[in-house]
Chain A
């Protein structure tokens, strides 16, 4: 399974975490009628497994942990430090483009949209594009639907914002159209050739690269840099950094949050 995950999604499955693979794949193995997980893995290795089943397995192996306002501080930095400067910088173009890479079920992208709606009313008549990408078709579908369970909205979403930007839809909460229209979700595998992307003002790629090996991290950071402008900002997860991976980035700290800009040492590929 480790080889399958590395080849198809560059995910490094650490030794000792076999329980995690078993817990994610056993229900699928049973659903597919295999007597044991070993038999299911053998089926996958045989090459006879159809593409959609391979995708389901990849989806299951991908950690999709996410929440609204996850870690809180990056969104405070976005609100107080980053967006005010970018709004000035882009005033002539009246255009803001944000990328939520490995967006999972969309909570990060919608959080960014709520920060913009709540604190930057002057952007109402700008062209604001928030693009969420992920390799998993299952999580992208939920992100596009914008429907979340009570459990999901309980994770980090303040009640006033829930009431303002979501509507009850059966046992789910659905993102209202105004917010939904700000966000566009697309399939994209970070470790395969990238599609043509617009230049981004802000990129969020948090808690993703921890799953990749060093060479994959370097490759992604190099390509990210090529999508950034001099004023652009990159957000990584709290346990992630560009240090020792890409000298083309300068780190800038704002209290509890570090962001990365394209530095003088950058050499575009």
Chain B
């Protein structure tokens, strides 16, 4: 029993998070391998090759027009080398999470497909950041970016009209959306997302990237900065006229200029259109 009082039962919330279907063992093993950073691509390919459905999915992705393949890819080994381990992991996670994350989340004003669309846009943005930032971005960032808002999926079920009114009123006196969640609910969607990632057995670097995606300064790992910026860039990708304002110090820590961020967002818009079919974005 939790000793604090609030409009939602935190134990109940955590139980709900822990009731999400587990990820396939191959995906968890792949995530663990990639977060070690000293992995060999052949090891990644071996994990994939044991999962027939996954291998088929990766072959389709590796042979898609978006990858501009010159020759046809026919083995898991070649698919992993073509796509890279980070993208392979993102596709693995997406194939499990996509179907459950497609639903509407009315508590957050998200229509059907809205949460997943934003998640895939963030994953795409993190991929672009990895190429553009002078600070090295760890490969599991793509997956953390894909899952950064997964907490909303569970939290959304708990947000009644009454609670939404309290959150609105908190925002009305100057709190950010995240601060309002913390004040009223005593937990925010990033923290809940971290619980889900732990439940799925994903590496702690991914958990930290999800938990701290709104306040990366609270945790020293680069993945937190990268997911935070990917979240902002995703908003530009989804709405090209949106104005995004990275928090002080974020671009400097990642080794990226504001102009480079703008260019990266512009390029990502076209790339997002190319890859969204692969991730089942509607």
Contact = CB atoms under 8 A, between A and B. Distances in A.
Nearest to A60: B5
A159 B221 CA distance: 14
A150 B3 contact: no
A149 B162 contact: no
Contacts of B170: 19-20
A139 interface: yes
Interface in A129-155: 136, 138-139, 141-142, 149-151, 154-155
B150 to A, nearest CB: 15
B213 to A, nearest CB: 14
Given A22-B166, A154-B194, A149 B7 contact: no
A259 B155 CA distance: 39
Contacts of A171: 11, 14-15, 18
Given A149-B14, A151-B195, A19 B3 contact: no
Interface string A35-78: 00000000000000000000010011000110000000000000
A19 B169 contact: yes
Contacts of A150: 14, 195, 198
B191 A151 contact: yes
A151 B14 contact: yes
B163 interface: yes
Nearest to B5: A60
Contacts of B173: 16-17
Given A23-B163, A149-B10, A154 B5 contact: no
Interface string B172-207: 010000000011101100011011001000001001
Interface in B90-136: none
Contacts of B6: 23-24, 27
B5 A139 contact: no
A141 B165 CA distance: 32
Contacts of A65: 182, 186
B3 A139 contact: yes
B14 A138 contact: no
B245 interface: no
B254 interface: no
Nearest to A25: B5
Contact of A59 (B1, B5, B207): B5
B161 to A, nearest CB: 12
Interface residue SS majority, chain A: helix
A245 interface: no
A48 B10 CA distance: 31
B189 to A, nearest CB: 12
A64 B211 contact: no
B5 A27 contact: yes
Nearest to B219: A156
A124 to B, nearest CB: 30
B52 interface: no
B178 to A, nearest CB: 14
A16 to B, nearest CB: 5
Nearest to A15: B173
Contacts of A136: 3
Contacts of A27: 5-7
B4 interface: yes
B241 interface: no
Contacts of A60: 5
Interface in A6-23: 16-20, 22-23
Contacts of A138: 3-4
B14 A23 contact: no
B2 interface: yes
Contacts of B194: 154
Contacts of B15: 171
A194 B181 CA distance: 35
B191 A105 contact: no
B166 A23 contact: yes
Given A19-B166, A19-B184, A23-B184, A149 B11 contact: yes
11 contacts: A23-B7, A23-B184, A27-B5, A27-B6, A28-B5, A59-B5, A149-B2, A149-B11, A149-B14, A151-B14, A151-B191
The 7 closest A-B pairs by CB, nearest first: A60-B5, A19-B169, A142-B3, A19-B166, A23-B166, A138-B3, A139-B3
Given A151-B14, A154-B211, 13 more contacts: A20-B184, A23-B163, A28-B5, A60-B5, A105-B4, A142-B3, A151-B10, A151-B192, A154-B194, A171-B11, A171-B14, A171-B15, A171-B18
